[in-house]
Chain A
């Protein structure tokens, strides 16, 4: 792609960094922005910039938030005895939209995968341990992808928590082998949460 303007080229490069956006689509987006008034473009870039600078990660559950503690964690109407452990923020959004779950969350920020260089120290596992020790949680619901990496993470966390007085359950496997939680439709997800199983049905935890 040859550009007559370095400014346009730079903008295309930036859009093309986004997932699923190729050079052609990026160019289309840039051309659209060129058609807008300068002020409208400022609004656009301003929102993106403010989002990145202003966003916080909840110090309790690591969900995105506008304040130190997120809206879910401060909400007194939610069941504080349940913590649902998920891989990413997208999973929180997916489960919230089922409107079937009223407990709290814990966002790990990934799942264990040595192939991708992700070990326990990269994930928010230590803070989960502290939360359970200090707070009122009695049930931990593991809602991770039914993959080897998800299963490894479930096993790892279960081992970490084995001395704490909590019940660990996993969401029912309505989701097919190799499936991603994110792609499960809301009905399947809602059913999976309703029909969760004790972890012993799922992995054997040594020393328990």
Chain B
């Protein structure tokens, strides 16, 4: 049985913040707030998070400082040269109540989700993605400047196109391979959570499945100039989720969406542990009150298995957790 820690206390006592702090030390960003500034208490100009991790029997203290817009990461008081060097050393998977946005929300959320997984297992992916995104910004700015002050000199555009094409080809390929490995894991967890045999599927849609980005960019230039932005590319990719051959976003029930989401997160966990060779920390934010009895039991059965490691969860009712895990289980409690 793996260690389980339950953070408990009344609403507003900061349970989720503590959970997020663990996530923060793994990825140097908050799971919940998109803007770093939100992590700073009003009136202060920075913050610091420190935590002790245990990796392969060795204790390591990880510290993240954020001051006046600059982020610094330390391992045992030694600063990382690049923040990205820390990404992937420790990993965590969070499941939180609002995560159904991943199914219901815009494609940007799904790209961010896939990028967060591939970015931590593949440094090249992360670098190419950052490179592509910066090129995209410059290309869009170039298109915008053209509308204000047209120039016949397209040399910069040639460069942006060629570089973006190389980055996009790699990212497209990796996203494709990822789905092939991810889909069986998702299918497995979905049916372990809610039984049944209804087929689940994910289809990756990308402009690049038709032709290379350089062809899109060359052929679409007039459109791009008119809209003053780059209309085609891997920044438009999306993933279609379906259950029983019906699109989940539009036709799925609340129950199906919830099961699908949990299966996605568990599959993410399984994927990361397989590729990285160590078990991530599973972070569960207030999910037990949202689950019915059968799904809760199925989830507990899964996370108590050998394929899962440390679990940290939050709940307002420690009793519920005590009951759920059974009297024999060793659960540590943190009262806030």
Q: Mark A144-182, 1 if CB is under 8 A from B, else 0.
A: 000011011001100110000000000000001100000
CB contacts between A and B, total, < 8 Å: 46
Contact of B138 among A120, A152, A203, A204 (CB under 8 A): A152
Q: Is the CB of A120 within 8 A of B153?
A: yes
Q: B81 — nearest CB in chain A belongs to which residue?
A: A176
B156 close to A152 (CB less than 8 A): yes
1/0 per residue, CB under 8 A from A, across B153-191: the answer is 101101110110000000000000000000000000000
Collect the chain B residues with CB atoms within 8 Å of residue A119's CB.
145, 151, 156
Q: How many residues of B contact A (CB 8 A)?
A: 22
Known: A114-B141, A148-B135, A148-B138. A176 touches B82 (CB 8 A): yes
Interface pairs A-B: 5 shortest CB-CB: A114-B141, A114-B142, A115-B141, A155-B159, A148-B134
B289 CB within 8 Å of chain A: no
Residues on A with beta carbons closer than 8 Å to the beta carbon of B127: 177
Which residue of B137, B155, B158 is within 8 Å of A115 (Cβ)?
B137
Whether the pair A152, B153 counts as a contact (CB closer than 8 A) is no
Q: List residues of chain A with CB within 8 A of the CB of B158.
A: 159, 206
Given contacts A114-B141, A115-B141, A148-B163, 18 further A-B contacts (CB under 8 A): A113-B141, A114-B139, A114-B142, A119-B145, A120-B156, A148-B131, A148-B135, A148-B138, A149-B138, A151-B159, A152-B156, A152-B159, A155-B159, A159-B155, A160-B155, A176-B81, A177-B127, A203-B159
A117 an interface residue at 8 Å Cβ cutoff? Answer: yes
Inter-chain contacts of A92 with B (CB < 8 A): none
Asked if A112 CB lies within 8 Å of chain B CBs, one says yes
24 CB contacts below 8 A, A to B, read: A112-B156, A113-B138, A113-B141, A114-B139, A114-B141, A115-B137, A115-B138, A115-B141, A117-B145, A120-B155, A148-B135, A151-B159, A151-B163, A152-B138, A152-B159, A152-B160, A155-B155, A155-B159, A156-B155, A156-B159, A159-B155, A176-B82, A177-B127, A204-B162
